[in-house]
Amino acid sequence: MGQGAAPRRIRAYDGELGAAVGRAQQGDEAAFAVAYRLVQPGLLGYLRGLVGEDAEDVASDAWLEIARDLGRFQGDGAGFRGWTATIARHRALDHLRRQRARPRPAVLEQDVLDLPGPHSTHDQAMEALSTEQALELVRGLPRDQAEAVLLRVVVGLDGPAAARVLDKRPGAVRTAAYRGLKRLARQLGAESVTDEAPRTLGE
């Protein structure tokens, strides 16, 4: 299944997700299961890009914390995806620290670049991101690029939401996602970049 339409599809679920989270906060266990089903695939893909084969264990830890703190969450479906991604990221970084595996140093990008148009590099890279091989390629990117790509493409967050998860400026996250996807596309054999009307990843 291609990932080109994933962010659009994820956003279409946000109404259902927001309603499920609201019911879950009132104690509806079936609604919590719906929220889990909608969020878990993207969250697991994000964690695979951060911790590899330990993603399931880290996701389990994250969901325990999500369930415990659910009553404190305020927001809609898109907000819930961002909130869960933040929790999962903290658990992943704790896991990496416990393994004494130092994360790659992130280079904060100062310039702001919009992503290229619909038939360009990032779409070609996105089409392959559903595969384990692609997630392994993402793990090989500099960490700022890897996380930006995973949050934007796999989790489906918009720029400001991804920036909040990473505690960075939206422009830095857009730049990192652009560079990461461009690098992925080269690795996947898609060399050309078409600079059509600028658009944000996932639009």
Summarised one tens digit per residue, pLDDT across range 101-141 is 444 443 332 222 233 333 344 445 555 555 566 777 888 88
How many residues in the chain? Answer: 203
Per-residue pLDDT tens digits for 53-81: 899 999 999 999 999 999 999 999 999 99
Please give the average per-residue pLDDT across 192-202, as a whole number: 39
Query: So what's the pLDDT on residue 167?
Result: 92
Amino acid (1-letter code) at residue 71: G
Please report, for residues 43, 147, 161, the alpha-carbon distance to residue 47 in angstroms, rounded to integers and kept in the order given: 6, 9, 17
* Number of Cβ atoms within 10 Å of the Cβ of 167: 8
Q: Please tell me the distance from the alpha carbon of residue 170 to that of residue 174, in angstroms, as a whole number.
A: 6
Contact at 8 Å (CB) between 128 and 188? yes
Residue 127 carries which DSSP code? H
> Between these two residues, 21 and 106, which has the higher pLDDT value?
21
Chain-centre distance for alpha carbon 45: 8
In the predicted model, is pLDDT for residue 161 greater than 70?
A: yes
Query: So what's the pLDDT on residue 111?
Result: 26
Range list of H helices, the chain: 6-25, 29-51, 55-69, 77-98, 121-127, 132-139, 143-149, 159-166, 170-187
Instruction: Tell me if residue 140 falls in helix, strand or coil.
Output: coil
Contact at 8 Å (CB) between 125 and 146? no
User: What share of the chain in percent tops pLDDT 90?
Assistant: 47
Q: Which residues contact 97 (CB under 8 A, 6 or more apart)?
A: none
Query: So what's the pLDDT on residue 110?
Result: 26
Q: Which residues contact 66 (CB under 8 A, 6 or more apart)?
A: 83, 84, 87
In the predicted model, is pLDDT for residue 29 greater than 60?
A: yes
> Between these two residues, 184 and 25, which has the higher pLDDT value?
25
Please report, for residues 73, 84, 86, 129, 154, the alpha-carbon distance to residue 114 in angstroms, rounded to integers and kept in the order given: 31, 26, 24, 20, 19
User: pTM, whole model, 2 decimals?
Assistant: 0.70
Q: What is the mean pLDDT of the chain?
A: 77
